[in-house]
Structures are given as C-alpha cells and as structure tokens.
Amino acid sequence: MEVMIGLFLIGVILTLTAQSAVATFERWQQSIEVRKIRNQIDHLPVRAFSHMREFDLSQEISDTVETPEGWVVLTTKDTRYSVSGFCGQGAVTVETPTGRIYEFAISPPGCRALEIKR
C-alpha cells in the first residue's frame, strides 16, 4: 500500500514538473536560435567590407540572415552598411514561432545588435 502511494506521489510530481521542464527547454532552444541570428547581424559589417559592397538591411531580411523555419526577422528601422564596414542606426525585430518578440537596436560605431529590454 505504501509503495502504491509512493508511486502515485512520484507520478503527480513528474506530471507537474514535466510541463515546466518542456517550457524551459523550449525557451533555451529559442535563446540559442536568437543568439545565432544576432551573431549573423553582428557579422554584417564584415560581410560588407569583405565583399567591398554596401547594402541596406531593410524589410524582410530572411534572405540576408538565415532563420529557422517559422521565424520572422524584420527591420523596424533600415540600416545601411558601407564598404568601410560602418553602419547607420537601425532596428531589427525577431519573432519566434511561439509569438515571442525580441527587439534589437543597431548603432555605430560597433554596429552590434543590442537587445532592447522592455
């Protein structure tokens, strides 16, 4: 009888913690993907310099930045990258398939995507 009660309690505890463990794992995976996208954005000045070509980061940028299926990366403020590797100010929004939104500001001189915390 005690074994049955013990197994029942273990089952209840596992049921309650499994949901939060899955949610934590999904958030962890999303943060890894966001970091990959951010690293690609941070590398854009080097790309402009190495290809000796200036370009604008505007609107739907999935052709410039590789994203996982179902993710959307948009510029909320266009950014110009010059041949010298410098950039103008800009902003990028990353939306995950679950609807979570990450916002980044891009500004000279480093041209790094800095997350905007709200």
Q: Please, what are the averages of pLDDT over each run of 10 residues along the chain (118 residues)?
A: 80 77 85 93 88 77 80 86 86 91 90 87
What CA–CA distances, in Å, run from 92 to 59, 61, 106? 9, 9, 8
What stretches of the chain show up as alpha helix (H) in DSSP?
A: 2-42, 44-51
> Which is it for the CA torsion 86, 88, 89, 93, positive or negative?
negative
Quote the pLDDT of residue 85.
81
Quote the pLDDT of residue 103.
94
| CA 41 – CA 87 distance, rounded (Å) | 11
Q: What is the pTM assigned to this prediction?
A: 0.77
Q: Which residues contact residue 107 at a Cβ distance below 8 angstroms, ignoring those fewer than 6 apart?
A: 87, 89, 90, 114
Quote the pLDDT of residue 35.
94
Quote the pLDDT of residue 59.
61
